[in-house]
Amino acid sequence: MFLASQMPDRTVLMVTGRAVGLIEQVAVMARQLAPSTVVFEDVDLIAEDRRTTQNASATPVMFELLNAMDGLAEDADVLFVLTTNRPEVLEPALAARPGRVDQAIEIPLPDEDCRDRLIARYGEGMRLALTDRAAVIARTEGTSAAFIKELLRRAALIAADASPGAKSPEVDDGHVRDAMQEMLVDGGSMTRTLLGVAGVGA
């Protein structure tokens, strides 16, 4: 969505969920609406390495995608953006032909400064009263932006439960600790995986 907001002069087509089966139609629309950008989310769902995948039904969809990328005329102003959280499982054919994938960009987990700014961003509208902000930043090392967003959301709910009737309760260090306990301990490994936690201990 950030990329789309930075390209106001281009038509952006988002391909997610059931739309993955409509690649040919999406490619036709992209050509007709050029200059355009096709954002294909979670491409690993249909482009997992054929040597390891057991999802054979995804292979024809992957070839449709490759045909759509290869079938554009040289003067067609259509940009494909493929996203994945699992680059290690992608089919080598995606990058086997020069010009098919021109650039790979890794977006790493947020560093300390970025986590500080994420807390400020997702804390907007809350009465954050953190006396040890550095401890929260340190404890969230290895987490994703989605984790920090959910952490503050849960902390705000805990603060609201602790102060019934308050219009805007303060969210303090204790509320954040309780929220982190829910997410890192009580939620189990599945919750940590879904929220993007890499190697953060309970």
Residues 92 and 116 in one domain: no
Asked if 157 and 173 count as a contact pair (C-beta separation under 8 A), the reply is no
Mean pLDDT of 104-130: 93
Q: Check whether residue 9 and residue 81 sit in a common domain.
A: yes
Q: How many domains does the chain have?
A: 2
Task: Give dist(CA 172, CA 59) in Å, integer.
Answer: 50
Which of 67, 96, 125 is the last residue before a domain boundary?
96
pLDDT digits (tens, 9 = 90+) for 25-68: 888 899 899 999 998 888 877 766 666 555 555 567 777 887 78
pLDDT tens string 140-175: 998 888 899 999 999 999 999 998 877 888 999 999
Establish if 30 belongs to a structural domain.
yes
Q: What percent of the chain has pLDDT over 90?
A: 34
Query: Which residues have C-beta within 8 Å of that of residue 8, sequence separation ≥ 6?
Result: none
Residue 143 · residue 183 · CB < 8 Å: no
